[in-house]
């Protein structure tokens, strides 16, 4: 589950990196898109460290991914946001929650396996 969570959080981070390239400047605003890209870049670096077993990278990674999800929340409440953007925000928030839970779940060993 740990690696699955890291892959999911890494894919979300790569999506954040692309945000300035896909925005129309209004949905999301360019300032939010650039902020998301910065969060995405740092998240990608942290995913690499976590993949290599550096547990210290998890706390900042989770914090940044949750911050990225919070950047998407206004899409649910602002008027005039395209439906596709609202759906993308919803999928992103849900995937973030799943990814964070996956990396935090304790490692389980199979009974009798050794």
pTM, to two decimals = 0.84
Taking every pair of C-alpha atoms in the chain, what is the biggest distance, in angstroms?
Answer: 57
* Res. 114: pLDDT tops 60: no
- Tokens (6 digits) for 78: 């602002």
Residue 82: domain span = 2-104
Q: Tell me if 14 is assigned to some domain.
A: yes
Mean pLDDT, the chain, rounded, equals: 88
What pLDDT, on a 0 to 100 scale, did the predictor assign at position 109? 61
- The tens digit of pLDDT for each residue in 34-84 reads 988 999 999 999 999 999 999 999 999 999 999 999 988 888 888 888 888
3-state secondary structure of 26: strand
**Torsion 9-98-64-87 (CA) sign:** positive
The Cα–Cα gap between 78 and 111 comes to 50
Please indicate, yes or no, if residue 109 is contained in any of the structural domains: no
Residue 40 lies inside a defined structural domain of this protein: yes
Q: Does residue 113 lie in a domain region?
A: no
Is residue 110 in a domain? no
Dist. CA 114–CA 51, nearest whole Å: 24
Is residue 85 domain-resident?
Answer: yes
Do the domain assignments include residue 77? yes
Establish if 56 belongs to a structural domain. Answer: yes
Q: How many domains does the chain have?
A: 1
């Amino acid at each position: 589950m740990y690696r699955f969570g890291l892959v999911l959080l890494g894919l979300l981070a790569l999506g954040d990196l692309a945000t300035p390239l896909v925005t129309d400047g209004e949905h999301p605003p360019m300032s939010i898109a650039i902020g998301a890209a910065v969060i995405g870049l740092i998240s990608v670096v942290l995913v690499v460290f976590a993949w290599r077993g550096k547990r210290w990278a998890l706390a900042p990674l989770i914090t940044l991914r949750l911050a990225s999800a919070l950047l998407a929340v206004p899409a649910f409440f602002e008027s005039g946001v395209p439906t596709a953007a609202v759906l993308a925000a919803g999928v992103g928030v849900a995937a973030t929650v799943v990814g964070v839970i996956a990396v935090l779940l304790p490692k389980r060993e199979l009974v009798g396996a050794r």
